[in-house]
Amino acid sequence: MLRREFLAVRNRLTAGDVRVASEALARRALELPELAGARTVAAYVSVGTEPGTLALLDALRARGARVLLPALLPDNDLDWGAYTGEGSLARVRHAGRMELLEPAGERLGPDAVTTADAVLLPGLAVDARGMRLGRGGGSYDRVLARLESAGARPSLVVLLYDTEVVEHVPEEAHDRPVHAVVTPSAVRRFGQA
């Protein structure tokens, strides 16, 4: 029910609202030291009324960072491919899901994310402890578990709208806190990256 509430608020946003928020979000995210020094950033391409990521992806590439983007696998795990610009994306509709923009080139395998210095995570909300509420598919729970089992310690950053930073979200035993949330108006940190 909580997920539906956050999605309903997002669905009321206009294209102009999303554009303005995305520009502010990209500016604020690019100020993060975690992204300034990152050689490899695992990210995602926003869809619909999610906080926009394309301007941020292009700016990271312009800085010389390697940007990895996910490709959804049939079991909801994520494979990864390199982002080389908007022309390197393909529209993919997975059974019963929304259309996603995924890297069109070579697949690097699910473990490619373990090479990232920073991981930008999608979400619907983050609470005061840094716990992230995702869409419920478990794809990024697998990513976080993979990072932990590999001993990888990238900075974990969620990109959200200002209203999606809340006091509390439900958590399960496998959930892990993120290090920071970036919104169009602020950065909030939750511990050492």
- Binding-site residues for ATP sit at 132-140
DSSP E strands, the chain: 40-42, 66-72, 78-83, 89-93, 99-103, 118-121, 125-127, 132-133, 155-159, 165-166, 180-182, 187-189
- For the record, the structure tokens of 130 come out as 């840094």
Q: How many CB atoms lie within 10 A of CB 15?
A: 8
The strand pairing partners of 40, in sequence order, are 66
Distance CA(163)–CA(188), nearest Å, equals: 13
CA distances from 30 to 53, 62, 136, 164, 183 (A): 12, 11, 28, 20, 12
Residue numbering of the annotated binding site = 45, 50, 132-140
CB 122 within 8 A of CB 50: yes
In Å, how far are 4, 94, 127, 139, 181 from 166, measured between CA atoms? 15, 31, 5, 22, 11
**Residues annotated in the binding site for substrate, as ranges?**
45, 50
Q: Which two tokens stand for residue 132?
A: 């992230």
Spatial separation of the C-alpha atoms in residues 57 and 106, rounded to whole Å:
18
